Structure formats: C-alpha cells, structure tokens
Structure 1
C-alpha cells in the first residue's frame, strides 16, 4: 500500500515539474544559452539536496569551456582545488550543454585515473540527459544507447568513459582528461612517468581533427613532473586557468580570453563560503604543507620552499662579493640534452672574509658533448685562474675517463675531480643549514630567480642540478676551510649528515 502511495506521489511531483517547465521553458532555454546559466538551471537535477553556492571561479571555468565550444581555445589546462565542482562542470554539465545548444554530433572521450570517477561522471551525464527536465526542454536530444560508461544519441553523438590507462584506439571531438594521476601513486616515479608518457604518446592523437577539436585537462597538482608539469615544461600551447585556494599576487592568473584572477590581497580565499578560513587552516594542518601546496595551491611544493625556504634569501641579494672572497665553481654534469633530462650546471660559490658564503654566478646548459666542454672551458677563462674548478667523478671507467679528460682540458687551472657520496638531499643539507642561518648571499644577476625557484622546489622539483652544483661547491669550500683552519661564524648550529664532505664543521 505504502509503495503505491509513494509511486503516485512521485508521479504527481514529476507531472507538476513538467508543467512548471512547460510554462517557463522559454525563459529557461534563454538562460541556458550560456554554460553558467545551464549549470544554475540544471544543478537541482544532479544535486537535489545540495544548494548551489555560486562563486566567481565557476564563471571562470564556464567561460573557458565556452571558449572551447566557440573554437577560441582547443587546448585547455585547468588547475583548481578539490571540491571546486570541476568534475561536475567539465565532465558532466559541459557535455550535456553542448548537445542542448545544437552540437548533438559531438563525440566525447572522457577519462580519469581509474574506473570509479569515469563511471560516476558518465552516469551523472546520462541521467541529466534522460531527466524529465532536460527532455522537456530539448526533446530533440534522444539517447539510443545508455550504458554505464558509454552512451550515444540519435544524431551520431556519443560519450565514451574510459580509464586513462586504456586511452587507445578511440577518437572524438573532445578529449576530457579529469585527474589523470591518483594521489596514492603520483609520488611513485614509475607510475608518474607511465602516466605522463601515456599523455604525451597516447592522448595527443585521440582527436578527429587536431585543429578544430579540443583537449581539456583538469586536475590538481600532485608533483612537479605530473601531467600539468609536462605541459608547462614542454611549452605545449595550452591556455592555463590556474586558481589556488589562497591568492598569491606573484602568481596571478590571466588568460588569452581576457580573464584575470579578481583577487588582490595576498592570502585571499578562492571560495570563502564553501571554504572559510578555519576550514582552510584545518586542511593545512591535517594534510601537511607538501600535499596542501600541490592540491590546493597548485604547486607541488610549498610557497616557502621544501628543504630551502624562500624567506631565507630575503634581503640577501648583494651587488658584489667582499674583496678577498675565495671562490670555487662546481659543475654538475648531465649526460643528455633531452628537454626532460637534467641539465649541466656550474655554480660559483665563494667564502667571504667574514666567514659567510656568496653565490657569485650560475650558468646552465641543456646540451651534451662538445657544447658542455666548450661552456666549461669558456667559463674557466671568464672566472680566471683564482677560481677553483670542481668536477664530479662518476663511478666506473667511463666516469673516470671523462673526468681525466676534463682535467687535461683545463690545464693551468686549479681543478679537482672527486666522487660524490650520499644522495642529493643528504649532500644539500649542510648548504641548506647555512642558508637557513642567514650565512648565504647572492650576487645580483639575471640567473637569481631561476636559481631560487629550483632551490625552493627541491627536492620535489623536476630539476636538481643547480642545487647539486651548489652542494658540491660548498663541500669544496668546507674542505678548504678545514685545511686552513679558518673559524666560521655560525649563528645557528647545524648537524652534518653522515657521509657529508668535510669534518670539524660546527654541529
């Protein structure tokens, strides 16, 4: 009896909804000419218990997706925090909206790191299209196949949902990549490289028309070498909508369609209604700085840095080093010139008469062979014979031959080649301790920003060569200090990790 009563009640409610829509259909369809209007009108179908709290960032996402629909953008990268309704907008609403405005032949490939989000968003999109609300407004959109991960309409349009690892042998007009990395596996080099390789080699040719069709990537940052990092590093021509939870003026987002992040105050929240300050502070505390920086601030290491903090170098830029500074230039050598590989970097570090340190010059190159040899020889001539040259001697016969060849090439200069011990982080810790103590300065130069960026991304950044070259130079200066028994002023005691170069350093 109760079942029949509930069924009758549901029937009456559905009929009342159809009548309401019929009376107001013209206004609704008019408002739904924009994606943001469509989202506002359709929200109650998918989220009947969750009130829509509109915020400017939703307009920003909708405007950029509309630009894709209009053909003004065909590559779009969106980085926004979790909980920003990104999947609902990009993987559900946008696709239903395009069919509603007459683009019923559009074919979509939608993907995520595993089947869970794929099935969830496919069901939501299908349910929206099949709802009485949608069918009352756009009866011309008829589905003839309604699978859990795949459906199609009678106008040859379809939507295929597949996990990112299976992105092969299918094509479409829209490729939507929604969170290609899992938070559980993004830290694994093997898993991360496999994902970025699939993105580069398997995703780019999934479009029917490379110029007219579009790829949209929407994700949170999980590592400097994630899919977003690869897009940026390789200079792929993606319009980049990047909206951190807390505003950072130096990273204000602006895009080619005229969008500019409207916030002005450092730390201003993205969505203070859904994410008030107390909630954000709790997230920071519970998640930790690294996870929060990637997922919520859209950079894979905290603003203040990883092992090195940017604040340590505030006020530490000088016009020149002190007279009488003892210099070492250490070279960190790379074996290949591939754009994603390490670079050859040479850091000139000095110990000043007052015992502090100064980075005098940094040079780097992404080449190999003769180009590297030429750079090292040319830089030695520029530095002069008073600057010691330090080279790494890799284990094995090839490394020994290379270092011996370099030493012969630099005849007349003070050159040493020694094997390095410990991993990169262990080697960097003594130098980082001196930076934290306020004992490291930088001579002003065009290289300053790139150098500090790498330091403050370390060890989570893609490149570590400038850090490694700094660590090597510091170790050589430390050995020179020990040999000459010069006392250095230390404002903060440090502990040297086991295996670090130099002994007798205060700790």
Structure 2
C-alpha cells in the first residue's frame, strides 16, 4: 500500500499509457468516459474480438477485414473512432491517414467528429499530445502536425485523397439495400473506387463493417469469391452450424444455439421484444447476419407440395417469361409454366432457366412455345424504357402463330409476388416433380433479399394472369386476331 501511495501523477499516467498501448480494448475502457460521460461502459467479449482483428491490421498481419455484426454493438465507434485514435495516440502512429466512409455523408461526419472530440480532449492530450493544424481542422477533414489526417465522405464522392486505412461503415442503408440500382452502385464502388484510395496498395488496409441486408450486398459479393478478406461474423443469437473462426485463432466462444452476443446490453427479453417488431426478414439480416430466415420469410415455401403429375384436366395454362440478356453470369432468363386445375389449385408444371445472350434467349423462347403447344398462352414481361418495349415486341413477333402477349408490370416486386405468397400459404400451389424444383424453392426462400428473383417474378406473373376471371380469356382470343 505504501508503495502505491508513493507513485507520482506522472507514474500513474505512464502506467495508463502502457496499459492503453497494450491493447485497443484497454484503450476503449479508459477512453469511454470522454465520449460517453453519462453512460457507463459495458464490456462484451465481442469488443475483444473486434479489437483483436483491428490490432492485426495495425501490426501488419491483416489488410482486408469484413465484419458482420448487429447494430448497437459499438461497431462504428470501435472501427471509426477508437481504433484510429488509438493508432494516433497509444500506438505512436500519428502519421496514419484514414478515410472514413459510409452510404451517406452524415454518418461518416458523425464518427469523424467524435474522433476529433476524443483527440482534442484534455484527457487524450495529457497522455498523447497530438496537435491538429489550425488550417486543416474542418468538419469533414483534419490533419495533425505529423501529417496524419482523417477524412469523412460518402463513398460515392471518395475521390482525391489516398489513405493508409479506408473504413467503409454500412455500405447500404436498410431501405436502399433492396434496390438493385443501389446495390450495383455499391458494388462498383467496392470494385473500382476502394482499391484506388489506398496510399500503399500492398500494405494499406480496407475495413468493411456492416449488417447483412441482401444476398447481393457488398458482403455477399466478397464472400462469393476470394478477395483476401478476413471475415468476422458475429450474429445476435448463436448458430452452431455457422460458428465463426478466423485465421487469427479466434473462435466464437458460445456453445449453445440461441446464446446471445451481448446479453449485458441486449437481454433475452429485449431481443425477443425487438424480434416481434422487426419481423423475420429484418431479424435474419440485421441480427443473424444472413439475408433470409432459415425457414424463409416472404414465402411459406414449406407449404408447397410436390406432386408426381398434374391433374388430367387443366383449365388454363400460361408460360410467363422474365427475360435477361446476360451470357454466363448476372441475371437469369426464367420461363415459368403454370396452370389452374379443376380443383382450384395452381400447378407449376415446368421452369426453364438459363443465363444466355439475347439471341439464344429468343431461340429458347420460340422453341419452348413450340413444345408447349398452341394451348399455352405466352406472356413476356416488358422491361422499362424504349429498349424494353422494343425487346418485348420483337419476341412477340417471333412467336407468330402462338398466343403471345406482353405487359409492363407495375408496382414493386414484393407487391406483385403477394398473391403468389398468399396462395402458397393457403396450400393452393403445387409443384410437378422435376429437376428444377430445388432451384425454384431456393429462390422462394430468399426472396426478396436473394441474389436472384427471376423465377419469382415469372411465377408471380403467371399466377396473376391465371387468377384473372375466366372471361378475360375472351380478350386473349380477340387479341390473337
């Protein structure tokens, strides 16, 4: 006790500096009161896991890191506030240059401002004096006297400067992730912009931290191929068959299915309450870090019955095409053949699906019509714009002699698929056994956050046409004349 009392203030500061330098998690504990003076610090093992992987970047052991973790678990504060401040201060790396980006400018500015508040605080300055230059101390950009700097930007405007660290926090908003156009923009940024913003292509690091929102989001793109990213995935509730392990020797320490990630903050009562409000799709993506629920979300696919043969008497049969013009990748062209039976059920008779160029696609549609026969009405989904209209008209002309029609669908995909979902839930949709069954059901499981929705679009279109009163068939016959 007497030895402790003899320590000077400088001795205690030196001990604290050493304690903070030894680990990022230690620094977080000590610095928390600066950013959140009214909130007690609550530690969770996931903080150690994230910090361990960020430290590996600081030590040069990693330079690509993808973190999937639920909201509210300090992901932004750890990666975009504490970590860069730790490098500038306790680790003695004030020359590090960091770009902090998000899907919108405001979020990136928020964390940049928090870091500046921490750096400028008396607590930090007393331990690690770090002067910001007066002419480069702005809301979106500031520089220190060691030439290190921090920039905030929306990813779409990430131009000019090159950083030693690029942290992309939430590439997608929850709403925008369902937009194909937005996802394509984000993926283009990932492929074309991020690599060009690195100060040293060999050693500079990219960290992407996000929740899963769609199969084709940025995480999905990274995980589909080997882009050199270490993947730290920590769902809210543990799933033993998805236990996360990384090259650093980290393994998710939970052992029981359903065990919570951060019970100190998100108790069982809180998680169960929020799950009821959020719904299955949001829980799967935002909590569990997989875009779709295990049992499906939009469609109750387990209520589909697979039958060996359709009824002998079918009232009306339609083949509905969702066209794509991609050869060997991207979207699929899908043609779903569906009929109504005298029993009032809808029978999916056949699905043709392929990734082909436009010329081969048109041949497939014509050949399929020949096989289906004159009794099957063919519908073509018309894409937007003059190009979509012209493509549909060309297909109709190629189907001369058959009952062929086109339409430009209105409303969101989910709205158009709702009747199909309702009929599946009621047990009124049956699949005729075929090799296509698995791919068809797999797409239903992940809709509307799956990578592909071509079969769903075609099946929805077919059912919506079959559900129209029988008298509309007279209109079809008149249109053939």
Q: Summarize the alignment of residues 70-469 of structure 1 with structure 2, pairs less than 5 Å apart.
A: 70-99=59-88, 100-131=90-121, 133-135=123-125, 137-138=127-128, 143-144=132-133, 147-149=137-139, 150-182=141-173, 197-221=188-212, 226-228=217-219, 231=222, 237-248=228-239, 251-287=242-278, 291-299=282-290, 305-313=296-304, 316=305, 320-321=308-309, 330-337=320-327, 342-347=331-336, 359=348, 362-373=351-362, 390-392=378-380, 394=382, 396=389, 398-405=391-398, 407=399, 416-420=403-407, 422-423=409-410, 424-425=413-414, 427-442=416-431, 450-469=439-458
Give the secondary structure class of the aligned counterpart of 1:268.
coil
TM-score by length of 2: 0.75
Structure 2: state its 5+ residue gaps.
Answer: 383-387, 477-481
Contact 1:28/1:41 (8 A) holds in 2 = no
CA distance in 2, matches of 1:358, 1:248: 36
The 8 Å contact of residues 335 and 458 in structure 2, kept in 1 or not, is answered as: yes
Distance in 2, Cα, partners of 1:335 & 1:125 = 48
Measure how far apart 1:85 and its partner are: 0.6
The CA distance in 1 between the partners of 2:369 and 2:32, in whole Å, is 66
Structure 2: distance between partners of 1:112 and 1:79:
15
Structure 1: gaps (5+ residues): 1-15, 484-497, 503-507
Q: Matched residues in 2 for 1:446 and 1:253: separation?
A: 33
- Do the aligned partners of residues 177 and 457 (structure 1) sit closer, same or farther apart at CA in structure 2, a change above 3 Å counting? same
Task: Give the superposition deviation at 1:95.
Answer: 1.2
Q: Relative to 1, partners in 2 of residues 1:426 and 1:192: Cα closer, same or farther, differing over 3 Å?
A: closer
Structure 1 CA distance, aligned partners of 2:223 and 2:328?
15
Cα pair 1:242 1:298 within 8 Å, conserved: yes
CA contact (8 A) 1:108 1:159 kept: yes
Q: Equivalent residue of 1:29, what SS? A: helix
**Contact map agreement 2:34 2:118 (CA 8 A) in 1:** yes
Shift of 1:172: 0.8
Hey, what's the Cα distance between the residues in 2 that align with 1:242 and 1:23?
A: 37
Counterpart of 2:31 in structure 1 is 42
Larger displacement relative to structure 2 (93-102 or 171-180):
93-102
Find the residue that maps to 1:433 and give its secondary structure. Answer: helix
SS, match of residue 208 in structure 1? coil
Deviation at 1:77, TM superposition (A): 2.5
Q: TM-score, normalised by structure 1?
A: 0.72
Q: Secondary structure at the match of 1:68?
A: helix
Aligned equivalents of 1:212 and 1:50: distance in 2? 37
CA distance in structure 2 between the partners assigned to 1:277 and 1:111 by the alignment: 33
The change in CA–CA distance for 1:347 and 1:387 in structure 2 (over 3 A counts) is farther
- RMSD, matched Cα: 4.5
CA distance in 1, matches of 2:158, 2:409: 40
